[in-house]
Amino acid sequence: MKFISNAIVQASRNIRAVWGSQLMTFVTVSLSVLIFSFFFLIYINMIQAAGHLGDNLRLIVYLEEEPNQKMKEQYRYKITTYEQVEDIRFISRRQAYERFRRQLGENSDILADMPKDFLPPSIEVYPIKSLRTLARAREFSEYLHTLPGVDRVQYGQEWLKRFYFFIKLLRIVVMLSGGLLILTSVFMVSSTIKLTILQRSAELELLRLVGASNAYIRTPFLLEGFFQGMLGSTCGLAALYLFYAWIRSRFSIPEIPGLFDFTFFSPQMAAAIVGASIILCVLGGILSIHKYLRL
């Protein structure tokens, strides 16, 4: 208990001694956490959205001719022997027309002069969840295209490609901003603690002379890193939350049910970010202590 209270007193003394640098470090850590967590938040929401996309993934196989019952059985057999599916639905020209008419709603009268069989018949294939990735969907669609009587296969390829490319890009940005967080936290905290060590060099020499243990000398600097990490990351996350709340209140995010339910970090994730920042800042402290105090 005495050890901890001594360490806290010394750590607060350190913080007061070079408060200008401490403030700079605090701001830098906060900004780094803000930048990283901003991109990370977008990334995990996109990943969630990608999961929902997978849930809704279906392949539409357009046929040249309306299949009879026997052909339907053959299609069903050929599809299920190639890949596991959850469901296969055959949509006739008439059903396609009715569905289209319903989708047009008030504007359905534009179909008035159109024949009711102008849309092609199709098969809607719903793969099982484990197969719902872009790569597997592509493979599956290539196979479906080889089936007799198939005109073309659609599953929103272009859109999905762009979406997954965006996620890849976002992953790179998250990694870069994570790297930025690591560098700034470690470097800034390390530099600040170096300044504290230099400012307190006479006192540290005296502490060694009167027999202070390594832990007695080292702990206040580690606490300093701990406080920097904790306060910096908490403020960074708080700023991001305020920004998130403001965005939500000002702009209504396009409501695509089940796709873009833009959420903030879970408490566990926020705690993990704070924890990681603390570890990085303490690591910065350890580096300085090792280099300048040789402890």
Partner 1 sequence: MKGEVTTRVMVDLIKVTKFFPPDVTALIDISVSIQRGEMFFLVGASGAGKTTLLKLICNVEEPSKGLVEVAGEDLSKLKPRQIQKLRQRIGVAYQGFKLLPERTVAQNIAIAMEVAYKRKAVIVNRIRDLLLRLDLEDKHDTRVRDLSRGEQQRVGIARSVANNPELILADEPTGNLDGETTGRVMELYRQCNQSGATVIIATHDESIYTHTTHRVMELRGGRKISLTTASTTP
Residue 210 engages partner 1 in binding (rule: CB under 8 A): yes
Q: How far apart are CA 100 and CA 258, in angstroms?
A: 23
Tokens standing for 5? 């209270």
Pick the stretch among 2-10, 21-29, 126-134, 173-181 that binds partner 1 (CB under 8 A): 2-10
Q: How far is CA 250 from CA 41, 236, 244, 245, 253, in A?
A: 18, 21, 10, 9, 9
**To the nearest whole angstrom, how small is the minimum distance from the Cβ of residue 6 to partner 1?**
6
Residue 202 engages partner 1 in binding (rule: CB under 8 A): yes
DSSP state of 212: -
Pick the stretch among 67-75, 190-198, 204-212, 253-261 that binds partner 1 (CB under 8 A): 204-212
Residue 213 engages partner 1 in binding (rule: CB under 8 A): yes
Do 92 and 18 contact (CB within 8 A), yes or no? no
Residue 214 engages partner 1 in binding (rule: CB under 8 A): yes
Q: How far apart are CA 139 and CA 44, in angstroms?
A: 27
Residue 201 engages partner 1 in binding (rule: CB under 8 A): no
- Count other C-beta atoms under 10 Å from residue 57's C-beta: 21
**To the nearest whole angstrom, how small is the minimum distance from the Cβ of residue 205 to partner 1?**
8
Residue 207 engages partner 1 in binding (rule: CB under 8 A): yes
**To the nearest whole angstrom, how small is the minimum distance from the Cβ of residue 286 to partner 1?**
18
Q: How far apart are CA 75 and CA 148, in angstroms?
A: 9
Pick the stretch among 27-35, 170-178, 201-209, 234-242 that binds partner 1 (CB under 8 A): 201-209
Q: How far apart are CA 33 and CA 287, in angstroms?
A: 21
Residue 83 engages partner 1 in binding (rule: CB under 8 A): no
Residue 2 engages partner 1 in binding (rule: CB under 8 A): yes
- According to DSSP H, which parts of the chain are helical? 2-17, 19-55, 69-82, 93-104, 134-146, 157-199, 201-209, 214-250, 267-288
Exactly one of 20, 105, 115, 211 binds partner 1 (CB under 8 A); that residue is 211
Q: How many CA atoms lie within 13 A of 137 on its CB side?
A: 24
Residue 4 engages partner 1 in binding (rule: CB under 8 A): no
Residue nearer to partner 1 on the CB measure, 19 or 166:
19
Tokens standing for 53? 């996309």
Q: Please tell me the count of residues contacting partner 1 according to CB under 8 A.
A: 16
* 151 phi/psi in degrees, rounded to 5: -85, -55
Q: How far apart are CA 269 and CA 39, in angstroms?
A: 14
Exactly one of 106, 205, 250, 257 binds partner 1 (CB under 8 A); that residue is 205
Pick the stretch among 23-31, 87-95, 206-214, 260-268 that binds partner 1 (CB under 8 A): 206-214
Residue 135 engages partner 1 in binding (rule: CB under 8 A): no
Residue nearer to partner 1 on the CB measure, 112 or 209:
209
Residue nearer to partner 1 on the CB measure, 5 or 69:
5
User: Which single residue is written with the structure tokens 């908490």?
Assistant: 234
**To the nearest whole angstrom, how small is the minimum distance from the Cβ of residue 207 to partner 1?**
6
Exactly one of 164, 203, 244, 259 binds partner 1 (CB under 8 A); that residue is 203
> Of 26, 38, 51, 11, which Cα lies nearest the Cα of 260?
51
| Residue ranges binding partner 1 (CB under 8 A) | 2-3, 6, 202-203, 205-214, 216
